[in-house]
Amino acid sequence: MTLIRYPVSDPIPIIGSDARKSIKFLGQRDGTASLPVEKRSVGERKSRLYFSLSIGEARMGGEDGGKTKKKRIAAGEASIGGRRWPMIGPKPDLQVNHLKGHSLFTVPNYLNPNEAKGFIEAAECSGFSHQGSLGPARGEAFRDNDRISFNDAGLAKCIWESGLDRVFAGIKLQGKSAVGLNPNIRFYRYKVGQRFGRHIDESVDLGGGQRTKYTLLIYLAGAGPQPRQGADHSAAAMVLAGGETVFYDDHRGIVAQVAPVEGMALLHVHGGRCMLHEARAVIKGTKYVLRSDVVFA
């Protein structure tokens, strides 16, 4: 049997009623898929957040064009792990909407419109690669989207400490607490007609007693404030139709149907307790998602 290779930090697309059984058959005793998975290092790289340093006049070379740290901060930019991302401000008044207890919930406005748009622009500059699968005929979920994947411990730390750390402060799983995000950051792009069929997300062992327990999705495009007359109608501001994330129970009944909303975070348990879910086809516009995982220890 030919198996497509997936990074350990991505969902393992298994379909059918015996999804978890299939994963255990393919993987190790703890249920983590190892046979069809291409392992990669998840060690943290030492990267600094320039906006967390004291503001100075030292110039940065390379593609920055000689911008000073001071000018970059004034422009709302940050260089993390050699990449330029928008600065993420603190989120002091977050609201949590529970769709299925602590197993599935959303956090509206985790990113503001400028932050979401900044991530889209930075991701597009980095360049996406198409992701497909062998399809249901080969025992894999249908997958058709574009993807970027890289390790950046600094960006993961920034996103976590902006407010997710407080959201997870009271959540424990098997006596373990959330300690941060997986440094493996992914961006997904779905154009019209693209989708990701029903699948489950597997847990990842990061070593040192740390394991991912939740999937984090932050929608970068979707429903949001209507643009003012004459405002920039960029990819981030375009009307998005379709692209809902739909969760199913063990009897294939719909548990929740989550439409993309700009800046909203969606979190759900993955691994052995992961609900079957899918990303429905985009009907209009372009769907962008920032993806990582919540780590417990």
Q: Is residue 162 part of a domain?
A: yes
* Range(s) of the domain holding residue 154: 6-47+82-296
User: Residue 171 is part of a domain; what is its CATH number?
Assistant: 2.60.120.620
Residue 58 forms part of a structural domain: no
Q: Is residue 1 part of a domain?
A: no
Instruction: Determine, yes or no, domain membership for 54.
Output: no
Q: Is residue 67 part of a domain?
A: no
The total of other beta-carbon atoms located within 10 Å of residue 197's CB is 18
Residue 59 maps to a domain = no
In a domain, 71, yes or no: no
Each residue's pLDDT, cut to its tens digit, for the chain (297 residues) gives 333 333 444 543 433 333 433 333 223 223 323 223 333 333 333 332 222 222 222 222 333 334 444 444 333 445 444 568 898 999 999 999 999 999 999 999 999 999 999 999 999 999 999 999 877 767 688 999 999 999 999 999 999 999 999 999 999 999 999 999 999 999 999 999 999 999 999 999 999 999 999 999 999 999 764 444 454 544 444 589 999 999 999 999 999 999 999 999 999 999 999 999 999 999 999 999 999 999 999
Residue 148 covered by a domain:
yes
Six-digit token pair at 1?
């049997």
3-state secondary structure 44-65: CCCCCCHHHCCCCCCECCHHHC
Contact status, residue 66 vs residue 59, Cβ threshold 8 Å: yes
Give burial (CB, 10 Å; 0-12/13-18/19+) of 254. Answer: exposed
**Overall domain count for the chain:** 1
